[in-house]
Amino acid sequence: MCDASLSVSFGRIESSAVSFFKQDWLKQFAALEYQSKSHTFNKAVIAAYYNVKKYGFEQWPWGLTVRQSKRIVNFVLKEDDLLYLNPDALNLSEHAIFRKKTKEVCYDLEKLFSERLTAIKRGIGFSERADIEIDDYKKDVRLDLIYNGWKQTKEANPKTFLMTFNPARYYRSYELLDHGFDVYQKIVLVKKHPYALINFALQGEHAFELSFLSLYKDPELKLINDQNDCIIVNCLFDLYKLHNVKYVNLGTDAGIKGLKFFKHKLPNFEQVVYQS
């Protein structure tokens, strides 16, 4: 598992290797070769959510470490050779080697689109509506417009637990495309006005949702009540038909009632991640 350019000895990486990787943390992280089934372990998710650009990463025979300012996060890719794993860190694994479980919400797209529920039909046809455009997207000034409006709406909602609200990780996901990550990224325009941004990390027949930002409280941009549901379904259908994606992982609902309801609206299954 360990990259040949790294010299790993008793839980330490030689300073020469660390200096090399600081040239471009995101580019080096994108170049790592491993497969993941979980949202938690997807490379793009780790890069954006744990701010690899700022904190960098370390690679070990058993997996990866990101040392943030207030915690150490270990992503355990192998079940063996864990002698030097820090027990005080947040240790995560797709294998059942830790006690605590986190459940992620996943869709089987072949099953989803074979049923053709009413919600599915509405979503598939959403991009054909007048005043709707769904286009490929690369980071530009429209990100700030949508992100800031979405963030302000969330922060104004008394149901948002601000202590754990971490919107910057979603913002960071929009620079991954420029650093070698395979990302499906769309912007939704309503009446020519930027309304929503959505992106997924791609990994073969799997896709992992990175973010979905929208100006859902703007009455001028709301054409139908289930607008965001339709955007999700439309993008899932695009992933299925044009990108050969079979499974989509939306990540955990984090115990948030509204998020749980939104992610579980469609037929789904769970992917389990274990943590210490």
d(CA 1, CA 3): 6
d(CA 105, CA 269): 6
Residue-level pLDDT at 6: 33
Per-residue pLDDT of the chain (276 residues; tens, 9 = 90+): 333 333 333 233 333 344 444 579 999 999 999 989 999 999 999 999 999 999 999 999 899 999 999 999 999 998 876 767 787 899 999 999 999 999 999 999 999 999 878 999 999 999 999 999 999 999 999 999 999 999 999 999 877 765 567 899 999 999 999 999 999 999 999 999 999 999 999 999 999 999 999 999 999 999 999 999 999 999 999 999 999 999 999 999 876 777 777 788 899 999 999 998
Residue-level pLDDT at 245: 98
Residue-level pLDDT at 256: 72
Q: Locate tokens 């379904």: which residue? A: 233
User: All domains of the chain, ordered by start, with CATH?
Assistant: 8-103 (no CATH), 104-271 (3.40.630.30)
Residue-level pLDDT at 161: 60
Residue-level pLDDT at 116: 78
Q: pTM to 2 decimals?
A: 0.89
Q: What is the dihedral of CA 76, 82, 87, 90, to 10 degrees?
A: 0
User: Contact at 8 Å (CB) between 85 and 98?
Assistant: no
Residue-level pLDDT at 196: 98
Residue-level pLDDT at 83: 64
